[in-house]
Amino acid sequence: MNLSRSGSLGWLLLAILMIPATLLPLFSTYPFLALVPGIAAIALLVIGSRPEIGLYAIVFLIPFGNFRNIGGPIENLKIHWILAMILLIVVFIRVLTDRSFISRLRSNLWPFFLGFLVISLLSTLFSEYKANASGQVVLTLVAILFFALTISLVPKEGVMRHLPAVIAIAVSLSSTFAVVGNLAGVTWFSIAAGETLSRSTGGAADPNALAMQIIFGLPFLAFWLTHAQRLRLRVLAAAMILVNVTAMVGTSSRSGALVLAACALLLVLINIQGIRPQKLGLLLIGGAAVILIAGVSLPQSFWERQATLFSVHHDSSLTRRASYLDVARDAIAQSPLLGHGPGTFRDLYALTDWAQLFHRKGSTKRRFAHNTYVEVLVGTGLLGATFYFALLGVALRNFFVTRKKLISLGDSYHKDLVTHYLVAFCCLLLYMSMFSDVYQKFMLLCLGLSQLWYRYVIEGISGSFPAASTAAVPRHEHGKPPPSLAGAGDVKVAP
C-alpha cells in the first residue's frame, strides 16, 4: 500500500470517527464538547501543513495559564497539551519521511539539557521525596520536548517576525484582561490579597507570573515602537506599552516594578542613539509627563507597598522570603552535590520552624523559595546547578555571538532585534531570581530561539532573511536600505 493511499484511508477513518465523537456529547451534560472534534480536525489540517502555527499557538497560550483547560469531564486536559501532541506526531512523521529533517534537531545546548536531566534522575534516586522529585523529572522531559519542537519547527520568519508579534500581542491581551478586571471588578482576572488589597492576574494564574510576562513582552513592544514604519503601528505599540505598565501596577508586584524599571532603562539606552534629536526632545518631555501623571494618579496603596522594600524587618512577606534563603543554606550544606531531589524545597521548608511561624489558617506550609536558582541548587545540588547555569550561559552566548556577527555584516535591523531579544531574556532571568519557575516557558522558548538565531546567522543556513515586515523596517543613515551582504555565506538581508 503506497503512502498516498494509506493517507486517504487515514483521513476516511478520521472522518468516520468524528461522527460519533461529535454526536455523543450532544446527549450528555456537556453538549459544548461536540465542538471539540471539529476544532481538533481543523487544527490537525492546519498544523499538518504548517506545523509552526501549532507552536505559535502554544506560545500565544503561555500568558493564559488560567484558561488553558478544556473543561467538562476532561477539565484536567489542557489545550496546549493537545497541540503539543499533534506537533510531536508531525515531527515523528517528518523524521520518518525526510531524513534531512533530523538535522534541525542539532543544538549546542543538548549536552547541558541532557546533563541536567541525568543529575535530576540521580538526585531523585537518593531523594526522600521521590514522588515529588519524579514529577519534576517529568517536567524536565517536557521542557526538552518543547525545546526540540522549537528548534525543529520555527522558520526564519518565525524567529525574526512572527514570534515577537505573537509574544507582544498575547502578553498585551492578558494585561488588557487585568486592566479590565481591575476597573470592572471582574474576579476572573484578579485575586484577593488580604482584606483590602486585590492583585491583578489577567490571564495568568498568579500576579507575579503576570508581572514576569509583562517584563518579557515589553522589549518586543519597544522594538515595534522604535522600528515601525507606519505611524498607526507605533501608536498601537505605545498604547500596548501603556496597558502593560498599567497592568503591572495592578499586580502590586514589588520585584516586578523593580525589574520593569531596569528593563525600561535598558531599552532607553539601546534605542536612544537611533532617535533624531528633535524626536528625542519630544520623547523626553512625554516621558517626564507620563512619570508626573503616574506619580499623581497611582493609588497610595501602590506606593505604600513599594515602600516596604526599604523596611524588610517590618514586612512579614519580605521576612518570610529571607527565611527561604536561611532554609536553603542549610539544605545545600546537608547535600551539596546532588541536592535533595528536584522540586523538593517546598517539602524541606514545610518541616522547619519558619513554616510554622508563617503558617496561616487555610494555607499550606509548603512554599517555593521565590528564587529559581535557589530551587535548582537545593533540588539538584552543585552538579545540577552547573548544568542549569551552563544551559542559560550558552544560550546567552548564542545571542551575543549572533549579534556580533550581524554587526560585522552591517545588518543593523536584525542586530537591533537580537538586542531586544537579549534584553527580554536577561530581564526574565533577573526576575527568576525573585520567582520560582525552573521550567518557565518563555525562558525555554528563548533557549530554542537562541539556537535558531545562531543557526540562521552563524551557521549560514541556505536561504535569505525575510524582508522587513510592514510593522518594522531597518533603520539606516540617510534612509538607505540595508546592503546585500556579500561574503556572508548564504545569509543575506532582503532590501
pLDDT-based confidence at 453, cuts 50/70/90?
A: very high
CA angle 78, 83, 85 (to 5 degrees): 95
- Range among 80-94, 286-300, 455-469, 476-490 with highest mean pLDDT value: 80-94
pLDDT-based confidence at 491, cuts 50/70/90?
A: very low
Cα 384 from Cα 362, distance rounded (Å): 34
Q: Which helix (H) or strand (E) holds 23?
A: helix 3-23
Helix (H), strand (E), coil (C) string for 295-344: HHHCCHHHHHHHHHHHCHHHCHHHHHHHHHHHHHHHHHHHCCCCCCCCCC
With beta carbons less than 8 A apart as the criterion, state whether 331 and 347 touch: no
Cα 485 from Cα 410, distance rounded (Å): 8
Mean pLDDT computed over every residue of the chain? 81
More confident residue, 77 or 266: 266
pTM for the structure as a whole: 0.83
Cα 394 from Cα 389, distance rounded (Å): 9
Percent over 70 (pLDDT), the chain = 72
Which is it for strands 198-200 and 190-192: parallel, antiparallel or unpaired?
Answer: antiparallel
pLDDT in tens, 314-336: 556 777 788 888 999 999 999 99
CA angle 387, 390, 394 (to 5 degrees): 140
Kindly state the DSSP code that residue 76 receives in the 8-state scheme.
T
Own/partner contacts of 398-404, CB < 8 Å, gap of 24 or more, are: 398/108, 398/450, 398/451, 398/453, 398/454, 399/425, 399/450, 399/453, 401/454, 401/458, 402/450, 402/453, 402/454, 402/457, 402/458
pLDDT-based confidence at 193, cuts 50/70/90?
A: low
Cα 398 from Cα 384, distance rounded (Å): 21
pLDDT-based confidence at 91, cuts 50/70/90?
A: confident
pLDDT-based confidence at 282, cuts 50/70/90?
A: low
Cell numbers standing for residue 264: 525600561
Kindly state the DSSP code that residue 30 receives in the 8-state scheme.
-
Give yes or no for residue 485 having a pLDDT over 50.
Answer: no
Q: Which helix (H) or strand (E) holds 200?
A: strand 198-200
Cell numbers standing for residue 29: 451534560
- Report pLDDT for 276: 62
With beta carbons less than 8 A apart as the criterion, state whether 310 and 254 touch: no
Cα 117 from Cα 121, distance rounded (Å): 6
List all residues 6 or more positions away from 341 whose beta carbon is below 8 Å from its beta carbon: 123, 124, 126, 127, 128, 129, 130, 132, 133, 136, 379
Interhelix angle for 163-184 vs 207-227, to 10°? 130
Cα 373 from Cα 438, distance rounded (Å): 8
The pLDDT of 286-311, averaged and rounded, is 57
List all residues 6 or more positions away from 23 whose beta carbon is below 8 Å from its beta carbon: 34
Buried b (16+ CB within 10 A) or exposed e, 219-238: bbbbbbbbbbeeeebbebbb
Please state the φ and ψ torsions of residue 487, each to the nearest 5 degrees.
80, 10
